[in-house]
Chains A and B, each alone.
Chain A
Amino acid sequence: MKVRRRDFFKVTFAAGAAAAINGTSMNALAAGTPITKKSRAFGGEWMASTCQGCTTWCPVEIFVQDGRAVKVRGNPYSKQNDGKVCPRAHMALQQVYDPDRLKVPMKRTNPLKGRGVDPKFIPISWDEALNTIADEMMALRDSGEPEKLALLRGRYSYMRDVIYDVLPKVFGSPNNISHSSMCAEAEKFGVFYTEGKWEYRDYDLDNTKYLLVWGCDPVSSNRMVPATIQRLGDVLDKATVAVVDPKLNNTAAKGHEWLPVLPGTDGALALGVAHVLLTEGLWYKGFVGDFKDGKNRFVSGVKVDESLFDEKESYGLVKWWNLAVKDMPAGKAAELSGVPAEQIERVARGLGKAAPNVCVWMGPGCSMHPRGAYSSMAVHALAGLTGGVDNVGGSLQSSSIPVNKLDKKLMKTFQDEVALKHTKFKKIDQRGYLNLPAISKGKSGGGVSTNNVANGLLNKDPYEIKMIIGYMNNPVFANNGTERWEKALSAVPFTVHLSTHASEFSQFADIVLPCTTSMFEKLGYTKTKANRYATCTLLQPVVEPYWDVIDDETEFPFLISEKLKDRGFSNLYNALTTMYKDPESGRKAKNSKEFTEYALKYYTAPLWDGKKDVGGDKINGWQDMLKRGMWNSDPYQYKKQWGGKFKTVSHKFEFYSKTLKKALEGHAEKHHVDVDRVMEESNYTVRGEMAFVPHFEPPLRSGDMKEFPYMFIDYKSRLNREGRSQNSPWYYEFKHVDPGDVGWHDALKINPADGKTLGIDDGDPIRVSSIGGSVECTARLWEGIRPGTVAKSFGQGHWAYGKTASIDYNKAQARGGNNNTLIPWELERLSGSNARNGGHALVKIEKI
């Protein structure tokens, strides 16, 4: 806040002089119409928006009273969450009203960058901030190197097209880098190279007879949390629930079976289950097919003649058996995975009995590790074997959401020669390099490798990045191997961070820009699915922001485009105002608010403009859309991909992945090597045909087990708003809702037997160290973690954040420890993913 008028300082000292009420200036106050208690409107209103606390992206309603958001519930129209929300939505109230939020644009005054080095931020006007940023961008254009601008995306809405696509592409940079590979690209890998969809699945809990949860905790995280909370009780009554997780998570605690797998050995366990299903003739023949004569020839260790089997919806079952499954009987799987053979057999038999109404719910725990791509395939192959793929009570794909797409053709007309040329340059994450295939959707370098940006920046390979614009992200905290990011970001000459809160990333920023909170203040939309329904749900400004904030994905690009236009580069402004006209009036936006509204209307128009019957909810115009805040599709129709419509090379569900073979061979050919070399460069051990089937890979562990004898695993709290709730006191107050956790502590779960060996008691302060780094936290002796493995919730350990998340910012003193400091930098290279699971971090534990 500034003093805006000089007469605010004026003082009259003359004794007895009348105080001139009209002559004295006000600064932050102004005359208004008196509102008496009687004339004030009381009550409140439920207003629709969207919670982005996890990737369920729940349609919600917020009760707004006297301009304040006071309560949250699910949007009663929603068929994906039945009008219910999980704790995350409520916690958002402490984010929007957090005194530590970014309030005004600020700039660094200390040129030195690093942990514990105060950037000495001072407030600046929006005009100064935008002018400075535009000058830096123009310098890159003027020197013919627009590719040296990188746009790092974090949590997004689907308004992302504007900041993530149009801005960099019209400007001339190929470096629009998403955060996707930090989440679960290795998980999508397994699904794509079996089922042909690079997507998360939906799950038909209402009709399942066997729920096999693998490497996640669906009532606390993953992608349909409220619907699962609502249904798990019924599922437990009428189906079997088995959970594979080294830690007793919420679902495991309620389930019928807990399979405490040795971290990183999920591939062996899945193959062991497959072995039982096949040798005992329990696979679902309506999907997979059968031996032509009906006689089961799957005998442990014995090869089978492919020609004897007649497959229906799948491809390569016998090849898979011969290459990988036949040699993984339950006993061997038990040895490798630590799960008892009888339990493997019992679960497999249960699956076989329940088939095809089997729901294999795969999460990142089994896939996001250095050799996790094949674990992911192996787990998803069980969905195929049991016929639960795309089937009643199984794992489903999604109905489409018929919103408008980014008009790439029109966008291209605004790209000048420089932009067209430079957007084709290699990207800073080195995707598609020999040792980083990132073969998303079958294409070499088709996927992002977010954590490898740190290497690209450090090594200036393929070139130097001179400017970063990042939004709603914190890569230096959220990627494993934080030290590497700290070094990399320290060396970037100019960084802009758009966020609701300053964080470790802001510590390396030159300018920080305050943004709206997505649930309460932002205008936009997301697409989501759960419970058989696809949903388009709006983010809406249900309260007036009380600080000077903007919408990151739309207002920022628009405001920058105006500044670039002032400097002679009008392509971006012209692109935005032309591409996103108001679909109703045809008008071009005159300011950033109007632009945001027009862009949202452009995208969502097919859902409400009544021009075409798109199915699902009937919405009568824009105002109706705003009021309802969402659209539901018709329910997903089962078996849409059956009948040869899988998007794989064979058009079948692939146990032997022709799709992966094509992709790997394509990548190998690009680098003039063979697939074996690709496997070697990508940290995988198998050679030959094994590369094309789900198989077991011995887990890669970082560190010497003699020095670091415990496997560390990371998990997500049900209170984590994607790592953004650590400044909320409620996070700590209620932390005990996560099994094994303790309020106001960052607790490392240690099996009591290990505690005894270590001489560590419950509640002891401890130091945990790996080859990546050390953190300090609290010991929690707990039977819910398998011996030899220790677990800690992701989220705490912020050394540059608000007053609750950090103990003392000035001393860079964190509350708790960041798991990503412990987990050394590593990738799952075939998908480009962060390797943050599977126990690849080995640790030692010391009492302090």
Chain B
Amino acid sequence: MIVDEQKRVLIECNRLLAACFCEPEKVLFIEENLCPNLATLLTSIDSESSKFAEAMQQELLETSEVDLKVDHAALFIGPFQLNAPPYGSVYLEKEGQVMGVSTLRVAQFYEETGIQVSEKEPADHIAIELEFMSYLFRCEVDAIHQEKKEDQQKFQDLQRVFFKDFLNPWIPIFCQKIEKHANSQFYRNLAFILNRVAKKTEGIVSLS
């Protein structure tokens, strides 16, 4: 597979992974083929992850929405101790707080590319960072198609820096926490996939 196609997959993959970290809505996720689509996309970059995505679909069908929401909340929302805080600064900074200096740098990174956060959440929420990665990959692919070489290089650089500085460093421990605390296979599988996709992404963005 050529890099262009891998990036095309990563556009979609990151977006669907971002969706997976949002509040689970069973009917919506099933109707929109979230897990099957993710599985199909993953076949081209990591076949094992693809199987895990297929299993997520099975879990989605078999688990009640309330159970999924309870699991999702305990991992990523609370209200008591957050089992897998989905915020970069919690992992990247000594104090382990939200809205740290690294969060601000993430928000500034978005702003410098003409993007802003429209949700009431810190900018370094996992779903937002994955969506942003998707956006950067998309911009690069667009630049390729529009033969804007400078832009292509610019977005490759942005991908590399953002991924290396802000996203990749906390993914392994974040995924470990999910795997440790999740009650459902849905989120354990999601952690597995995210970890694998991150490793794949690391190779791809450093090649660019």
| A residues in contact (CB < 8 Å) with B | 1-3, 6, 8-9, 11-13, 15, 18-19, 21, 24, 26-37, 40, 66-68, 93-94, 96-104, 106, 109, 120-123, 501-502, 506, 512, 545-548, 729, 800-803, 806, 808-809
Least CB separation from B142: chain A residue: A21
Contact status of A68 and B125, CB under 8 A, knowing A8-B19, A512-B79, A806-B80: no
Find chain A residues with CB under 8 A from B121 CB: 1, 28, 546-547
Contact status of A97 and B99, CB under 8 A, knowing A27-B19, A109-B66: yes
Question: Using a Cβ–Cβ cut-off of 8 Å, how many residues does chain B contribute to the interface with A?
Answer: 64
Find chain B residues with CB under 8 A from A122 CB: 66, 69-70, 73
**Contact call A1/B80, Cβ cutoff below 8 A:** no
**Contact call B23/A729, Cβ cutoff below 8 A:** no
**Contact call B97/A94, Cβ cutoff below 8 A:** yes
Find chain A residues with CB under 8 A from B131 CB: 26-29
Find chain B residues with CB under 8 A from A36 CB: 112
Complex-state Cα separation, A21 to B125, whole angstroms? 23
Find chain A residues with CB under 8 A from B198 CB: none
Contact with A along B128-159 (1 / 0, CB 8 A): 10011001001101100100000000000000
Among B23, B95, B135, contact of A94 (Cβ-Cβ < 8 Å): B95
**Contact call A6/B116, Cβ cutoff below 8 A:** no
**Contact call A18/B142, Cβ cutoff below 8 A:** yes
Interface positions, chain B 1-49, Cβ under 8 Å from A, are 5, 8, 11-12, 15-16, 18-19, 21-23, 25, 28, 32-34, 37, 40-41
Between-chain CB contacts (< 8 Å), 5 pairs: A11-B41, A27-B22, A32-B110, A123-B73, A802-B80
Smallest distance from the beta carbon of A233 to chain B beta carbons, Å? 32
Complex-state Cα separation, A13 to B39, whole angstroms? 12
Find chain A residues with CB under 8 A from B62 CB: none
**Contact call B73/A98, Cβ cutoff below 8 A:** no
Find chain A residues with CB under 8 A from B97 CB: 93-94, 97-99
* B108 adjacent to chain A (CB < 8 Å): yes
A-B pair number, CB within 8 angstroms: 185
Find chain B residues with CB under 8 A from A548 CB: 120
Among A31, A100, A102, A806, contact of B114 (Cβ-Cβ < 8 Å): A31
Among A1, A2, A9, A106, contact of B16 (Cβ-Cβ < 8 Å): A9
**Contact call B115/A100, Cβ cutoff below 8 A:** no
**Contact call B8/A800, Cβ cutoff below 8 A:** no
Find chain B residues with CB under 8 A from A9 CB: 16, 19, 32-34, 37
Contact status of A29 and B79, CB under 8 A, knowing A99-B96, A99-B98: no
Find chain A residues with CB under 8 A from B120 CB: 545-548
Smallest distance from the beta carbon of B74 to chain A beta carbons, Å? 8
Smallest distance from the beta carbon of A821 to chain B beta carbons, Å? 19
User: Among the interface residues B78, B114, B118, B138, which one has the most CB atoms of the partner chain A within 10 A?
Assistant: B78
* B127 adjacent to chain A (CB < 8 Å): yes
Least CB separation from A104: chain B residue: B77
* B173 adjacent to chain A (CB < 8 Å): no
3 closest A-B pairs by beta carbon, nearest first, are: A502-B79, A32-B116, A9-B32
Among B115, B128, B138, contact of A31 (Cβ-Cβ < 8 Å): B115
* B111 adjacent to chain A (CB < 8 Å): yes
Least CB separation from A96: chain B residue: B99
Smallest distance from the beta carbon of A132 to chain B beta carbons, Å? 16
Complex-state Cα separation, A66 to B105, whole angstroms? 10
Complex-state Cα separation, A19 to B9, whole angstroms? 10
Contact status of A809 and B111, CB under 8 A, knowing A9-B32, A547-B120: no
Least CB separation from B85: chain A residue: A99
* B174 adjacent to chain A (CB < 8 Å): no
Complex-state Cα separation, A120 to B73, whole angstroms? 9
Among A24, A67, A96, contact of B138 (Cβ-Cβ < 8 Å): A24
Contact with A along B68-101 (1 / 0, CB 8 A): 0110010001111110010100100001111110
User: Among the interface residues A9, A18, A34, A101, which one has the most CB atoms of the partner chain B within 10 A?
Assistant: A9
Smallest distance from the beta carbon of A102 to chain B beta carbons, Å? 5
Complex-state Cα separation, A808 to B180, whole angstroms? 13
Find chain B residues with CB under 8 A from A94 CB: 95, 97
**Contact call A29/B128, Cβ cutoff below 8 A:** yes
Find chain B residues with CB under 8 A from A106 CB: 73, 77-79
* B61 adjacent to chain A (CB < 8 Å): no
Complex-state Cα separation, A809 to B95, whole angstroms? 21
Known: A3-B25, A18-B141, A21-B139. 15 other contacts (CB 8 A): A1-B23, A9-B16, A9-B33, A9-B34, A24-B15, A26-B131, A27-B18, A28-B127, A29-B132, A31-B114, A33-B114, A93-B97, A97-B100, A106-B77, A109-B66
User: Among the interface residues B81, B113, B132, B139, which one has the most CB atoms of the partner chain A within 10 A?
Assistant: B81
* B161 adjacent to chain A (CB < 8 Å): no
* B104 adjacent to chain A (CB < 8 Å): yes
**Contact call A806/B128, Cβ cutoff below 8 A:** no
Find chain B residues with CB under 8 A from A96 CB: 99
Complex-state Cα separation, A2 to B98, whole angstroms? 20
Contact status of A11 and B80, CB under 8 A, knowing A29-B110, A33-B114, A545-B120: no
Find chain A residues with CB under 8 A from B145 CB: 18-19
Smallest distance from the beta carbon of A572 to chain B beta carbons, Å? 27
Find chain A residues with CB under 8 A from B28 CB: 3, 6
Contact status of A802 and B117, CB under 8 A, knowing A29-B110, A34-B111, A99-B96: no
Find chain B residues with CB under 8 A from A8 CB: 15, 19
Find chain A residues with CB under 8 A from B122 CB: 546
Among A29, A102, A803, contact of B115 (Cβ-Cβ < 8 Å): A29
Smallest distance from the beta carbon of A416 to chain B beta carbons, Å? 36
Contact status of A546 and B99, CB under 8 A, knowing A2-B25, A502-B78: yes
**Contact call A1/B119, Cβ cutoff below 8 A:** yes
Complex-state Cα separation, A143 to B118, whole angstroms? 43
Complex-state Cα separation, A193 to B179, whole angstroms? 62
Contact status of A30 and B15, CB under 8 A, knowing A97-B98, A123-B77: no
**Contact call B138/A6, Cβ cutoff below 8 A:** no
Smallest distance from the beta carbon of A70 to chain B beta carbons, Å? 9
Complex-state Cα separation, A399 to B50, whole angstroms? 72
**Contact call B118/A121, Cβ cutoff below 8 A:** no
Smallest distance from the beta carbon of B167 to chain A beta carbons, Å? 14
**Contact call B142/A803, Cβ cutoff below 8 A:** no
**Contact call B79/A3, Cβ cutoff below 8 A:** no
**Contact call A1/B22, Cβ cutoff below 8 A:** yes
Contact status of A19 and B8, CB under 8 A, knowing A29-B135, A32-B111, A802-B81: yes
User: Among the interface residues A27, A28, A36, A729, which one has the most CB atoms of the partner chain B within 10 A?
Assistant: A28
Find chain A residues with CB under 8 A from B139 CB: 21
Find chain A residues with CB under 8 A from B25 CB: 2-3
**Contact call B127/A1, Cβ cutoff below 8 A:** yes
Complex-state Cα separation, A575 to B138, whole angstroms? 54
Find chain B residues with CB under 8 A from A104 CB: 77
**Contact call B96/A729, Cβ cutoff below 8 A:** yes
Complex-state Cα separation, A559 to B113, whole angstroms? 38
Smallest distance from the beta carbon of B22 to chain A beta carbons, Å? 5
Smallest distance from the beta carbon of A569 to chain B beta carbons, Å? 30
Find chain B residues with CB under 8 A from A97 CB: 97-100
**Contact call B115/A11, Cβ cutoff below 8 A:** no
**Contact call B16/A99, Cβ cutoff below 8 A:** no
Among B22, B70, B80, B95, contact of A801 (Cβ-Cβ < 8 Å): B80
**Contact call B117/A19, Cβ cutoff below 8 A:** no
Find chain A residues with CB under 8 A from B95 CB: 94, 729
**Contact call B81/A803, Cβ cutoff below 8 A:** yes
Complex-state Cα separation, A123 to B24, whole angstroms? 10
**Contact call B82/A802, Cβ cutoff below 8 A:** yes
Among A3, A37, A40, contact of B19 (Cβ-Cβ < 8 Å): A3
Smallest distance from the beta carbon of A21 to chain B beta carbons, Å? 5
Complex-state Cα separation, A604 to B110, whole angstroms? 41
Complex-state Cα separation, A683 to B112, whole angstroms? 70
Complex-state Cα separation, A40 to B96, whole angstroms? 26
Least CB separation from A37: chain B residue: B112
**Contact call A40/B108, Cβ cutoff below 8 A:** yes
Contact status of A6 and B73, CB under 8 A, knowing A28-B127, A34-B114: no
Find chain B residues with CB under 8 A from A800 CB: 80
Find chain B residues with CB under 8 A from A101 CB: 78
